[in-house]
Structure 1
Amino acid sequence: MGFMNETHASLDDLSLFATVAQSGSLSAASRATGMPLPTLSRRMAALERALSRPLFQRGPAGYALTADGRALADELGGLADIRRRIAKWQSAETGAPPVRITAGIWTSRAIAFALKPDVNRSWHPHFVAANAALDLARREADIGIRNAPPDHPWLARRQLATVHYAEYGTAGATGYIATPPNVPSQRWLHDHRGSEIRTIANDPRLCLDLALAGHGRILMPTFAGDTLGTLERLSEPVTDLTHEAWLVTHQDARHDPPIRTAIEEIVSILT
């Protein structure tokens, strides 16, 4: 009975392999990395042994990737970018650290407008697309604004405020502007006003611009719509969409001073 090879591939060797794959030849990778050709060849052979997979077809024309080699190169597609980002971070001057915030577009907009420009702030906001599949428990973002409390034991939460939705538009606007039904407010709009939807756009900000141009009504939170000053509220709040907003962060991350300061500022804005 054979034994599995439990040797782990070196991250440095994987990085070298990615350079070989990208360069197209061992000699080109040797020039790019400054590593002598015999040393690079030995490192690639060691990587094949560690992975128990043939990564190269060796022949008179040089090194060509096998099917396994091509598959590994695909898996390592982001490694070079990570190394460049780490090098950039390592060489950058020390400054206020970023705090990654993930929230819906209207909440992000409210935070952006309320935050006062301050070159001496002990943190700076890094807004992350709300539709990104971010896992706060795995620290893919530092602060999240959610419409329900988390059920993960590693996540801390703080209730913020009650959120109401209503219809907004220019005076006399008819018909509706919607995004695809991938969030609760838009599912409600498609379910209850579907026959009156006149325009669909993927970007909520474009929906706002269309409403400002008089193309129809949009459904949005009252905390955002009531402060626009350019659109009228054209309905009572939609009871079905009323919910509580929650600030969520990792239990450990919330004790980091920049994140703690960011939490307090965001809470003061959203409550």
Structure 2
Amino acid sequence: MIISCARQCFTVMKSESIVSKMKDQILWTALPAFLAIADHGGLTAAAQHSGHSAATLSRHISRLEQHLGKRLFLRGAQGYQLSPEGRALLPLARRMAHDADQIERWTADAPAPPSLRISAGPWTARWLAQAIAPQDISWRPSFVSAITRTDIARRAVDIGIRNARPTQSWLAGQKIGTLRYAVFARDPDVPGWITMTEDAARLPSAQWVATHVTRSGAPVSARTNCPILGATLAAQGHGRIVLPLFAGALTSGLTRIGAPIDALTSEEWLVSHHEARFDPQIRQALTDVRAALKGKPA
């Protein structure tokens, strides 16, 4: 019986709260209609200036009068004239409209969320760009797709995703996973290899391919300085390529050929400056990035 009474009390309180919110909504949505009619002396003129139909304005006024329990307008052949209650409400409504306008201006002038710079390899940067939705974070991402390491110590970036534990004393790191690599191609019969040029040639996966090509004499069928472009070439049948397992899963048209390459397996670390990590915004960004990377396919 006690549980039943408590449940009934909670239901009543919840209903009262809903009714209160509905009344507040009626007040805020109807006041502009009240001001428009008061300023223009009738529904037709108010409708022309407000952009709402006369029927909509009339409906708002009826709801407002019902909500307040007062008659705000005297309706007659000459249109709508303010009643004594309406004249008393008019300065209060103008004040509320002014305050609402000030709040809207203040909201529009509010500072933008902070922009935080995140460096990662091309594939990890692409994953983060797809995994982090703007409505889920309180900061603005500024991605740096970098094959070489960026300087966190001098704050070139705020957060870095790296393939090894940081050894410098001024850096803090969190291990977030393990990266495994394998050979991918459109199908197992594709013979040639896609190799990397420029900075991309320094990637461990690119060096593995270069060594394999040299030792085996396998043909090079295409070259590129962009690993993502290389995956696209592989999906079109131009050759084989070595990719992180999650990158192969992201690229339509690729098939994994063989087991993961043990020599390329590496740890993945989330790195920041050891002092900056205590900044609330960077700490939140670290949490968001870590959560996004946890959802990455193994």
Give the structure-2-normalised TM-score.
0.57
Identity %: 41
Deviation at 1:132, TM superposition (A): 5.4
Structure 1 stretches lacking a partner, 5+ long: 1-91
Partner of 1:77 in structure 2? none
Q: How many residues align?
A: 179
CA distance, structure 2, for counterparts of residue 160 and residue 193 of structure 1: 32
The yes-or-no answer on 1:112 pairing with 2:129 is: yes
CA contact (8 A) 2:120 2:145 kept: yes
Structure 2 stretches lacking a partner, 5+ long: 1-108
Partner of 1:101 in structure 2? 118
Partner of 1:149 in structure 2? 165
Partner of 1:234 in structure 2? 257
What's the CA shift string for 1:116-174, capped at 9, x where partnerless? Answer: 232x7310110113145521111111000111111111110000111100011112322
Provide the aligned C-alpha RMSD in A: 1.8
Over 4 Å off, 4+ runs: none
- Change over 3 Å in CA distance of 1:141–1:124 after alignment to 2: same
Identify, as 1 or 2, the structure richer in helix. 2
- Aligned pair partner of 1:217 in 240, 246, 253: 240
Report the AA paired with residue 145 of structure 1: I
CA distance, structure 1, for counterparts of residue 241 and residue 225 of structure 2: 13
Give 1 or 2 for the bigger CA radius of gyration.
2
Structural mapping, 1:1-271, within 5 Å: 94-118=111-135, 121-131=137-147, 134-171=150-187, 172-180=189-197, 181-194=201-214, 195-196=217-218, 197-271=220-294
CA contact (8 A) 1:100 1:141 kept: yes
Give the structure-1-normalised TM-score.
0.62
CA distance, structure 2, for counterparts of residue 104 and residue 133 of structure 1: 9
Deviation at 1:227, TM superposition (A): 3.5
What's the CA shift string for 1:167-215, capped at 9, x where partnerless? Answer: 1111232211121331111111100134322211111122122112110
CA contact (8 A) 1:96 1:121 kept: no
